[in-house]
Every structure is written in structure tokens, then in C-alpha cells.
Amino acid sequence: MKVSIIGAGNVGGTLAQRISEAGLADVVLLDIAEGLAKGKGFDLSDARSITSKNHRISGTSDYNEIRDSTVVVVTAGLARVPGMTREDLLKKNAAIIKKVIYSIAENAPDSIIVMVTNPLDILTNLALHLSKFSPQKVIGMGGVLDSARFANLIAEHLDVPVTSVEALVIGAHSKDMIPLAGFSKVSGKPLTQIVSAERCRDLSLATAQRGAQIVACLGQGSAYYAPSAAAFKMVKAIIGSENIVVPACVYCNGEYGIEDTCIGVPARLGSRGVEEIIELDLKVEEKEKLLNSAKFIKEAAANLA
């Protein structure tokens, strides 16, 4: 198995480390800044004897090196700075992603694409349109990350182990994300039975603001430990044919009443990419918010194509 990562910044480099240390697959780390990718590739490769892993890892700026990839993860693009929304990134990162997707389609046409670059949902739609890949094979990362943040905030608020929390966030990977308190549990018990409706709203708002909070604290750059962990979970599900259900930005064409749009919903991931979309019985206001987000994402993506 071979995983190629486009973009050797913080997310890409940390993801390469996670894959290598897990012994999951060979890794190709690619960046237009050739020295950056090569240097990190050399460094990660040197660590293999310490971590006792034999999978190869290399850095390059040559797209020929991604040939025969099982999965290609796209992290390339600019990161947010304080005060910048994901939407502010759109024009600049769309131009970058267009070049990246054309290169993936040319050199790794049988791969599964996992999108990480923001604004995630819009660029996932763009990637699907430009690559002309099967909708099963173009997947965005946002929901796994947002759900992890929701779970962490719930655990901190209740002072319980985070491993006892099952949290679910769907919709756009933006301030309009939809944390589903009714589908989130603590030790098997619905969150809505444990905390008040007001506290659920507070935790949901804190989840939506978490990315901006991290950006503000860092001053330069954005989150990468949790995003790389989220991407790793998705890559592992595909490489390992795990058939696990995670919230991910996937192509809907009728599901949830959404037509011809990629947006965050629960999906089963396996060796073919998206194996199945899981439809939940949402509240009226949750369904309406999801449809409104899908409409915005579809229109924004259409303006870029």
C-alpha cells in the first residue's frame, strides 16, 4: 500500500509521521517546496530504525512519484491567520487545489482522494468536479475533526474520560457545522439526558469556534495535531478496509434531500472509499440547517469550476 500526501506543512508532515509509525503504508510526501518535502522525508525515514517500521517514506516535488497510490491526501494550501475565516481562504486555495487535482488525476487515477485543505466542503466539491473520479473516491475530512473537538469539550465539561464520549457533528466544516447532541453519548447515555439544552448549545458553539480559537492562540498557522489524526483515521479505514462509520464530507445525491453536493454526513468508509451513506432521523431545524449549508456549498463550488 502507498499513501501520498500533497503538502509537507504541519498537517502533511504530522500525518506522514502517524502513517509511518503505525506501519500502515509506504508514504510519499510531496510539496512544491522540494527541500521541505525531501528534508522531512529524510528525517522521518531516519526514525524508522527507532520505531522498528520498514515501510518506506520519501519526500519529493515530482508528481510522478505518486503513481500507484492507494490514497492521496491533499493538505496543500494556505493556513488561516487570526481573524481569517475558512471562506477568506477560498480564492487562494482554490487556485492551488486546481493544479493539485489535475496532477493527481493524471498520475494516480485509481487512487482515493482525501481532502483536508480549507474551506473543506467547497474544495471537496471542486476536487470531485475536476478529477472526474467516482463520487465514492473523493472524501473530505472535516466531520471527524469536528466530532473529536465536540467529544473533547464534552469530556472536559463533565470531567469524564474522553474515551467514554461518542460525539457526532455533521454539515459544513465551518461555523455552520451541526453538532448533534441527540446522537452524542457519554458512557452510552444520550448527552441530552445528562446536560441541559442550554449547556448543549454552549458546547456546540464552543466546538464551532475551536478552530478559530486555536488560530488565535498560535498567532501564525492553524491546528495540525487533531486534523492529522482525523485524516489518519480516514486513511486507516480505507487502507484497512475497516468499514467504519465516520462523519465525512461525501457526495450526496438524494440523501437527506441534498442533490449533487459534497457535505458532512455519516458515511461508512472502506477499501472502495465511501461504501455507504447513513441517513439519520434529524430534527426539523437540523435538517433545515444541513440543506441551507448544502445550498451555499453547491453555489460556491459552482462559481469556482
Active-site residue flag, 157: no
For the chain, list residues with pLDDT below 50: none
Report pLDDT for 86. 60
Helix (H, G, I), strand (E, B) or coil at 73: strand
Is residue 238 within 8 A of residue 269, CB to CB? The reply is yes
CB neighbour burial string for 238-254, b if at least 16 within 10 angstroms, e if fewer? bbeebeebbbbbbbbee
**Grid coordinates in use for 146?**
469536528
**Grid coordinates in use for 238?**
480505507
Report pLDDT for 151. 98
Is residue 38 within 8 A of residue 60, CB to CB? The reply is yes
Residue 27: is it exposed, middle or buried by C-beta count within 10 angstroms (0-12/13-18/19+)? buried
Residue 178's nearest CA partner among 155, 153, 146, 210 is: 146
Report pLDDT for 48. 96
The alpha carbon of residue 182 and the mean position of all alpha carbons in its chain are separated, in whole angstroms, by 23
User: Can you tell me the distance from the alpha carbon of 100 to that of 7, in angstroms, rounded to the nearest whole number?
Assistant: 10
Q: What DSSP designation does 110 have?
A: T
Catalytic member of 55, 129, 157, 173: 173
Report pLDDT for 248. 98
- What the chain holds in terms of domains, given with CATH numbers, is 2-142 (3.40.50.720), 143-304 (3.90.110.10)
CB neighbour burial string for 100-113, b if at least 16 within 10 angstroms, e if fewer? bbebbbebbeebbb
Is residue 136 within 8 A of residue 274, CB to CB? The reply is yes
The pTM of this model reads 0.96
The DSSP line for 233-299 is HHHHHHHTT--EEEEEEEEESSGGG--SEEEEEEEEEETTEEEEEPPP---HHHHHHHHHHHHHHHH
Report pLDDT for 194. 96
Q: What DSSP designation does 171 have?
A: B
